[in-house]
Amino acid sequence: MEEYQEAHEGGILKCCIGIECITSQSRGLPGKVEQCRTAILMLGRNQFSELVLKLQLSKCTKSYSLENVKIHRRFMKEGKSTIHLPKEKVGI
């Protein structure tokens, strides 16, 4: 991962994130949120040339396909944004 970071330093975002699992049982209510203060976000492509969002967390690395992605920008001026991935049932 370090080699990738050095080679593509411009495409990496280091930030604090929360990953919220959205279940059909929650009926619009917030689900379980996993907080990470030192996360690294990378945008790339998988072996099928599809856009993929990779999250390097302190414990593990997660990848999400960016199909039908919705980006909420209401608080963008404050440095906050939400990425909603309906196929993955996750909000970041």
Cα distance between residue 92 and residue 53, in whole Å: 10
Residue 83's identity, in one-letter code, is: I
Cα distance between residue 26 and residue 29, in whole Å: 5
**pLDDT over 90 percentage in the chain:** 1
Compute the Cα dihedral for 76, 83, 36, 40 and give only its sign. Answer: negative
Confidence bin at 27 (pLDDT 50/70/90): low
pLDDT at 6: 41
pLDDT at 25: 61
How much is the average pLDDT of 18-43? Answer: 78
